[in-house]
Structure 1
Amino acid sequence: MTDHYTLAQSAEYLQVSENFVRTMVDKKRLTPDAEGRVTQAQLDELAQLIGKLKGGGIAAMVSSVDQHL
């Protein structure tokens, strides 16, 4: 298993749109390396945050935001 992911692979890993991943890069939640890849540790941290948000009863909002980004 790799520990670096392209933005497209990151979206698949997180089960979100690639646009959402790009937004997370723009907001500095993810920091790609010189080759445009992010680490699995970054993705796992973001996945935990997404999980907490969904677990907090706002899954519809997260889904809606993801669909519009």
Structure 2
Amino acid sequence: GMGVALIPPLLIEAELASGELVVACARPLRGERAYYLVSPAQAQPPVLAAFARWLLGIAKGDLPAP
């Protein structure tokens, strides 16, 4: 009841087996491999906004990886 994520099933096999997570749509997603940071449309809490800026900096190569 908290949302939907697109994630390879092999990463959540235990959660699927236990019923903690369910498959919302069994149709496979076709496309480029990518990562996404998704958040609500309303204003982000400062900590989430800072994390998003940091993550974008890492992804763009502007910041050194930890």
TM over 0.5: no
Give the structure-1-normalised TM-score.
0.27
TM-score (norm 2): 0.28
User: Whose strand proportion is higher, 1 or 2?
Assistant: 1
Q: Which has the larger radius of gyration?
A: 2
Question: Relative contact order: is structure 1 or structure 2 higher (C-alpha 8 Å, sep ≥ 6)?
Answer: 1
